[in-house]
Amino acid sequence: MATIIDLSKPIRYNRSDPWFMRVKIKHKPHHKAKWLIRLVGLPFRLFPSGFSGWADDTIQKMGVHATTHVDAPWHYSPVVDGQKAKTIDEIPLDWCYGNGVVLDMTHKADFDPITADDVRKSLAQINVTLQPGMIVLIKTGRDRFNGTPDFHKKGTGMSKEATSWLIGQGIKMMGIDQWGWDLPLPYMISQAKLTGNRELFWEAHLVGQREEYCHMEQLVNLDALPPSGFKVCVFPLKIVGASAAPARVVAILEH
């Protein structure tokens, strides 16, 4: 017997989302389909008893980064260490299933980056040694801002050193429960302008120019998980040539 915990946010229209995250879905009720069925050749008199048509839905607008998703290496850079970067349909499926670990970074303030030392200390506190193929989940608690206009403006974020350190332990898939993997995008932009430092912007993502890995963004419900002792399943949609894809991410706890 297992308990399955959903780590994915709902896909739906939310007017409070910033414009670049907004999803638009057209829902077609059962009775609207009867004319389509008639058009393809089935007379109304031959409709099965109690059947008025099939329900259908159309995603009219949804960016691949708009909801819980996996970023492919192609998102970060066209090449990784001189080789063509993998698009989302090319990432190995064995990266997408493995033993999970939750690192609690809820103590980190907004705009205070998560360091490699933070990661090592968190692992020591839960007495976990990382093994290649594990899936590391970073819990910041910022999923509580989902659906608010400021969601993308709040949070801590992974540093390039912390990201590179995880990859060095054999971790190919990692994820976070805030809008992005790095510090909040508006903050990074403002700091780059303020300091003139070209290395500040997107520093954790750009580790992917040199080292191959994937990360998940906009996870939810990480506080429902123990620090370890569970599996994570994170299979993204197989969108050919895409930089990312929505995924139904779940944790599986065996009893």
- N-to-C CA span, the chain: 6
Confidence of residue 255 (pLDDT cuts 50, 70, 90): confident
Distance CA 85, CA 91 (A): 10
Position 53 pLDDT exceeds 90: no
Position 93 pLDDT exceeds 90: yes
What percent of the chain is predicted at pLDDT more than 70? Answer: 100
SS3 state at 255: coil
Q: What integer pLDDT is reported at residue 47 of this predicted model?
A: 87
- 138 is written with which tokens? 């970073």
* Count of H-run helices and E-run strands, the chain: 5, 12
Q: What integer pLDDT is reported at residue 252 of this predicted model?
A: 98
- 165 is written with which tokens? 């350190």
Q: What integer pLDDT is reported at residue 38 of this predicted model?
A: 83
The radius of gyration of the chain's CA atoms, rounded to the nearest angstrom, is 21
Name which of 163, 157, 104, 102 is nearest 135 in CA terms: 102
Position 37 pLDDT exceeds 90: no
User: Which amino acid does the sequence have at 136?
Assistant: V
pLDDT by residue (tens digit) across 169-197?
999 999 999 999 999 999 999 999 999 99
Name which of 217, 109, 223 is nearest 155 in CA terms: 109
Looking at the chain, list the stretches that DSSP marks H as alpha helix, in order from N- to C-terminal side. 34-39, 73-76, 116-125, 160-168, 185-195
Position 44 pLDDT exceeds 90: no
pLDDT by residue (tens digit) across 125-155?
999 999 999 999 999 999 999 999 999 999 9
Q: What integer pLDDT is reported at residue 18 of this predicted model?
A: 87
Asked if 16 and 255 count as a contact pair (C-beta separation under 8 A), the reply is: no
- If you average pLDDT over every residue of the chain, what do you get? 96
Q: What integer pLDDT is reported at residue 89 of this predicted model?
A: 98
Q: What integer pLDDT is reported at residue 190 of this predicted model?
A: 97
Confidence of residue 118 (pLDDT cuts 50, 70, 90): very high
| Single pTM value for the model | 0.95
pLDDT by residue (tens digit) across 211-245?
999 999 999 999 999 999 999 999 999 999 999 99
**Residue ranges of domains in the chain, CATH in brackets:** 24-61 (no CATH), 69-254 (3.50.30.50)
For the chain, list the strands marked E by DSSP: 2-6, 24-28, 56-61, 69-71, 79-80, 83-84, 97-104, 135-139, 173-176, 214-217, 230-236, 244-254
pLDDT by residue (tens digit) across 5-27?
999 999 999 999 988 899 999 99
- 27 is written with which tokens? 């829902």
SS3 state at 217: strand
Q: What integer pLDDT is reported at residue 239 of this predicted model?
A: 98
Distance CA 23, CA 59 (A): 8
Position 65 pLDDT exceeds 90: yes
Name which of 8, 2, 4, 1 is nearest 251 in CA terms: 4
